[in-house]
């Protein structure tokens, strides 16, 4: 059971993660052809399948994070997705331009850090201020 202050912090963490993914997913929707072209340029396999899945994961995942629905399995999915995005989209080991490589290194490790945040969210759960929290059984006698 989490304390109200813990649930508040978890809620803020969920919102912070959600904003990043919602923004990115909406940008993918608005510039879908460019996103598909980017995936092609990176050599991502099955782009016609990968592009809509990536967009859906970011938009739907962001919305589910905000409301706090099925957060533990969602957090695992988002952690795996974020690491995959780091490896496929920020492959600094293939970049020869020093300035671009530095940028890619930062983005790669940023994604790894975000994945770590999702793993913590997997451990903590959504907290009380969520659909998951509202659906959780409460302990007896005033808990």
Q: What is the mean pLDDT of the chain?
A: 92
pTM, to two decimals: 0.88
Using alpha carbons, select from 100, 104, 108, 119 the residue that is nearest to residue 84: 108
pLDDT computed for residue 141 by the predictor: 43
pLDDT at 3 over 90: no
Q: Take residue 101 and report the two structure tokens written for it.
A: 């490589």
Domain boundaries, the chain: 4-134
Using alpha carbons, select from 57, 72, 50 the residue that is nearest to residue 21: 57
Specify whether the CB–CB gap between 120 and 76 falls below 8 A: no
Q: What angle do CA 53, 59, 62 make, to 5 degrees?
A: 125
Instruction: State the Cα–Cα distance between residues 50 and 136, nearest whole angstrom.
Output: 34
Q: Concatenated DSSP letters for 78-102?
A: HHHHHHHHHHHH--GGG--SHHHHH
Task: Name every residue whose Cβ is closer than 8 Å to that of residue 23 and which is 6 or more positions away in sequence.
Answer: none
pLDDT computed for residue 138 by the predictor: 67
pLDDT at 72 over 80: yes
- Residues 112-142 pLDDT 10s: 999 999 999 999 999 999 999 888 776 544 4
Mean pLDDT on 99-118 = 96
């Amino acid at each position: 059971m989490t304390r109200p202050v813990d649930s508040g912090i978890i809620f803020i963490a969920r919102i912070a993660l959600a904003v990043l993914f919602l923004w990115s997913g909406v940008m993918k929707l608005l510039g879908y052809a460019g996103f598909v072209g980017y995936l092609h340029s990176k050599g991502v396999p099955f782009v016609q399948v990968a592009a809509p899945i990536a967009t859906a994961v970011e938009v739907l995942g962001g919305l589910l994070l905000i409301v706090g629905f099925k957060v533990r399995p969602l957090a695992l999915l988002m952690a795996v997705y974020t690491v995959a995005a780091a490896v496929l989209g920020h492959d600094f080991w293939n970049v020869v331009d020093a300035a671009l490589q530095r940028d890619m290194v930062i983005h790669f490790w940023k994604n790894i850090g975000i994945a770590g945040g999702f793993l913590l969210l997997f451990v903590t759960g959504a907290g009380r201020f969520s659909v998951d929290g509202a659906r959780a059984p409460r302990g007896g006698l005033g808990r």
